[in-house]
Structures are given as structure tokens and as C-alpha cells.
Amino acid sequence: MHPDEQRQDIAARIKTILTDMVGEAPQSEEARLIKDLGFDSLDLIDLAMRLEEEFSIAIPDEVWDDTGDKSIRDLHDLVSARLTERTPA
């Protein structure tokens, strides 16, 4: 898959998950999970599990602890990095 297509695919799949969780599509990639979308710690756990299942990746718990309130763009970067790590060069 071309990198631009992969980026669009990841973004669309994350948007679908978030829309399912909050009931409406996020308006910006800069939207913050806690501040803007109203996530709490249980929502973050649910999101992590959904991302792991959707993309067949593992997300260590410390990812959620290190920077606090993540943006949707941060999620995209996280998923992209995890997919790159598991894909042989």
C-alpha cells in the first residue's frame, strides 16, 4: 500500500473508532482525547483495546502515561509507528 493510502486508511479507521465511542466524528486531528472528546481513564483503556484489535498491534500501558492528553494526530503517529515496527523491511 502506498504511504499516502496507508495514512488515509489509518486515519479513517481511527475516525470510525472514535465516532463509535463518542457518537460523532471528531472535527480535527488536533482534538485532544480528554480535553476535547471528554475521555476518562476507562475510555482510554477501551480505545487502546479497540486500536490493538483493529490494527493487530500491541500498545504498552506506558504510552498512555507519558504525555497525558493525546491528540488524534498522536494516535495516528502511534498506530503508524507500531505498524512499521511489526512490518519487516
Active site residue 40: yes
- Residue for grid cell 507519558: 66
Tell me if 63 sits within 8 A of 75, measured CB to CB: no
Cα 61 from Cα 85, distance rounded (Å): 17
Q: Of residues 9, 36, 40, 74, which has the active-site annotation?
A: 40
Residues 6+ apart with CB under 8 A from 7: 76, 80
Active site (catalytic) residues? 40
